[in-house]
Amino acid sequence: MPPKRVAITGLGVISPIGIGKDRFWNALMEGRSGVDRISRFDASGFDSKIAAEVRDFDPADYMDKKETRRNDRFVQFAYAASRMALDDSGFSITPQNGTQVGVLIGSGIGGATTWEEQHRILIERGPDRVSPFFIPMIIINMASGIISILLGAKGPNSAVVTACATGGNAIGDAARNIQRGEAIAMLAGGSEAAITPLSIAGFCSMKAVSTRNDEPQKASRPFDAKRDGFIMGEGSGVVLLEEMEHARRREAHIYAELVGYGMSGDAYHITQPDPEADGAARSMRNALRDANMEPKQIDYINAHGTSTLYNDRTETLAVKRVFGEHAKTVPVSSTKSMTGHLLGAAGGVELIACVQAIEHGAIPPTINYEFPDPECDLDYVPNTARKMRVDAAMSNAFGFGGHNAILIVRRYDGH
């Protein structure tokens, strides 16, 4: 039997530029930056004092107070985004269908806030005062676990941890569950809440983050010659994936069809991408092959585009290697220029940007693109959104450790 087709019928977003798919999309179209001075803690002694925080999130809007206290911020984000995706889809999980509905949510870092809070309690007050919920609050699989428990989803339940490729891998792996007939629907994506002193200090020590502290909103500048590092972001992006025939039968709104998933490993370095772009290029080709598509059929690429020296250069090379002459004309933009880098949540949030590009006929810009880099010479949709019909879009996600995950979504034509 051929693999079952996978529809995207629900979108849920928690982002630094807006909560909910509409606010998120409107901010992208306006080219609005979510980067500012860090407010979660005193960052005055840090080399980088800026981040893209989610500032208007109240977990009590989505779960009761007891659950809020028992779950780390990254789980709260994941559950809220999942609720949004489910509500948006019009799909209901019931005792009758619950065993056929799964959850696959990942995170790159997991319960960073809880780690640091409980370590402080250990040092200041002793081991007996560490919370009995410490372990379940920090482990990455608990996002999927809590969503399953609270929503009654008893189907395939798992988690992915591939650093900044996590969201892409989670959605791709969840699609495979549906294609194999193991589920009729999957909530899939990523979540991250790692704007904490230790996380920021670690990335500062690596010299990976921007120190443009005097101009926070101009600090994330993918592909720009004066880029100096990424900006830490936080949030969650979750989609409801649904078996196509099931979605049709219930007359669901189908945003797009997930048609391609490719992955690979660089086998090169713990943090730097392969300078020859071999792994990134292979994962793109794998996704195109899975979709049975040619490069010229891709209308838009949502780049990983981190605003780091090596990533942006290598990703540009990968696009050239795979797309050939079409690389000169296909629009490539990085929404991280606005949201910052959501690490394990990036792949989920950015796939939603691709789906909305198809839905709305527009491409988000790469803001802060002012100084062209000779080694980054593609069409990065500089500074202003572009109205354009998008029939197929590619979302790129690359992670520390050499993980590469590529997703391709295509307009649903009713057949």
Q: Give the residue-averaged pLDDT of 256-282.
A: 96
What does the H/E/C string look like for 357-393? HHHHCEECCECCCCCEECCECCCCCECCCEECCCCEE
Residue type, 78: A
What's the chain's average pLDDT?
A: 97
Q: CB of 313 within 8 A of CB of 375?
A: yes
pLDDT digits (tens, 9 = 90+) for 101-140: 999 999 999 999 999 999 999 999 999 999 999 999 999 9
pLDDT at residue 39 greater than cutoff 90: yes
Q: CB of 10 within 8 A of CB of 87?
A: yes
Domain boundaries, the chain: 6-249, 260-410
Confidence of residue 169 (pLDDT cuts 50, 70, 90): very high
pLDDT at residue 414 greater than cutoff 90: no
Q: CB of 53 within 8 A of CB of 340?
A: no
Q: CB of 53 within 8 A of CB of 16?
A: yes
Q: CB of 9 within 8 A of CB of 188?
A: no
Q: Is 40 exposed, middle or buried (0-12, 13-18, 19+ CB in 10 A)?
A: middle
pLDDT digits (tens, 9 = 90+) for 128-139: 999 999 999 999
Copy the structure tokens of residue 409. Answer: 């979504």
Between 29-33, 48-52, 61-65, the lowest mean confidence (pLDDT) is in: 61-65
pLDDT attached to residue 154: 98
The whole-angstrom separation of Cα 165 and Cα 346 is 8
The owner of tokens 């296909």 is 330
pLDDT digits (tens, 9 = 90+) for 16-26: 999 999 999 99
pLDDT at residue 2 greater than cutoff 90: no
Residue from 246, 341, 354, 403 carrying the catalytic annotation: 341
pLDDT at residue 415 greater than cutoff 90: no
For a pLDDT cut of 90, what percent of the chain falls above it?
A: 99
pLDDT digits (tens, 9 = 90+) for 293-307: 999 999 999 999 999
pLDDT at residue 1 greater than cutoff 90: no
Q: CB of 349 within 8 A of CB of 339?
A: yes
The whole-angstrom separation of Cα 221 and Cα 224 is 6
164 is catalytic: yes
pLDDT digits (tens, 9 = 90+) for 401-410: 999 999 999 9
Residue from 304, 354, 376, 403 carrying the catalytic annotation: 304
CATH architecture under which domain 260-410 falls: 3-Layer(aba) Sandwich (3.40)
- 121-160 in b/e burial notation, b at 16+ Cβ within 10 A? beeeeeeeeeeeebebbbbbbbbbbbbbebbebbbbbbbb
pLDDT digits (tens, 9 = 90+) for 62-103: 999 999 999 999 999 999 999 999 999 999 999 999 999 999
Domain 6-249 in CATH 3.40.5.50? The answer is no
341 is catalytic: yes
pLDDT attached to residue 318: 98
